[in-house]
Structure 1
Amino acid sequence: MSTATARYAGQLRTEATHTASGTTIHTDAPVDNHGRGEAFSPTDLVSAALGSCMMTIMGIVAERQGLDLTGVTWSVTKHMAADPRRISEIEVAFQMPAALSPKERTTLENAARTCPVALSLNPEIRQSVQFSYEA
């Protein structure tokens, strides 16, 4: 079975449907590349996927260790190179609970950096990951 099916909706927009759940996402070309920027661009999705994958893997490790990471937030910032047009860097900034011990922090940070998306991205794409521990 396919992971997703998709269709071109015209005007530089796509619609993809996740086969297993039926969830639909839309993309739009960014304003700086002939689009309207009214939805995630495909490269925005790559960036968001990196942060989400890192969080998912940390969540798996946390559950295994009896830690609750509910409410952890993060932001991603994508940087593009011009020639050829491509992602040059993805910054991910996590806001983590201050109560985590140094050992727990190290374990979770290592888990994040070894998520499948992080390991699948071209090594030329710089992955800058920050962890802030706040109350």
Structure 2
Amino acid sequence: MPTIKSSYLGNLRTTSEHLQSGVKILTDAPVDNNGKGEAFSPTDLVASALGSCMVTIMGIVANRDAVSLDGLSWEVTKVMQSSPRKISEIIVDFQWENPVNDAAMIQKLKNAAKTCPVALSLDPEIKQTLNFDF
């Protein structure tokens, strides 16, 4: 059974629907690649998926150990190369307002982030730079 159903809308835009939930997303080509840049580009979604996947796996570990990740946020920077046009690096900067005061748990969370399915699925040529501000 399919997971996602997508359609081309014209003008370098697509829509995709997550079939189980009905949630839809729109993509638009970036301005530097003939688009309007009015929505996530497909490569933006890849970069976003990395950060979200990392935090999801950290959340699973935190829940299992009864640790709250309240106050955890992150910013993602996608670096493109021009020839061939592809993602060369994804930088994820994590901030945590009130981190747990347990060095072993902090390390466990960092390790969890590095082993999320998206991180393990990306081409090894894509540099993954992680900065943990906690």
**How many Å separate the matches in 1 of 2:133 and 2:5?**
37
Equivalent residue number for residue 110 of structure 2:
109
Question: Residue 48 of structure 2: SS of its match in structure 1?
Answer: helix
Q: Which runs of 5+ in 2 are unaligned?
A: none
Equivalent residue number for residue 29 of structure 1:
29
Q: Which amino acid aligns with 2:114?
A: R
| Structure 1 residue 29 displacement after superposition | 0.2
| Structure 1 residue 101 displacement after superposition | 1.1
Question: Residue 104 of structure 1: SS of its match in structure 2?
Answer: helix
| Structure 1 residue 100 displacement after superposition | 3.2
**How many Å separate the matches in 2 of 1:99 and 1:55?**
15
Q: Which runs of 5+ in 1 are unaligned?
A: none
Q: Which amino acid aligns with 1:75?
A: E
Tell me the TM-score normalized by structure 1.
Answer: 0.96
| Structure 1 residue 71 displacement after superposition | 2.9
TM alignment of 1:1-135, pairs within 5 A: 1-96=1-96, 97-133=98-134
RMSD over aligned CA atoms reads 0.7
Tell me the TM-score normalized by structure 2.
Answer: 0.97
Q: Deviations over 1:50-87 (max 9, x none)?
A: 00000000000000000010231000000001110000
**How many Å separate the matches in 1 of 2:99 and 2:56?**
19
The count of corresponding residues between Structure 1 and Structure 2 is 133
Alignment check: 8 A CA contact 2:78 2:87 kept: yes
Q: Which amino acid aligns with 2:117?
A: P
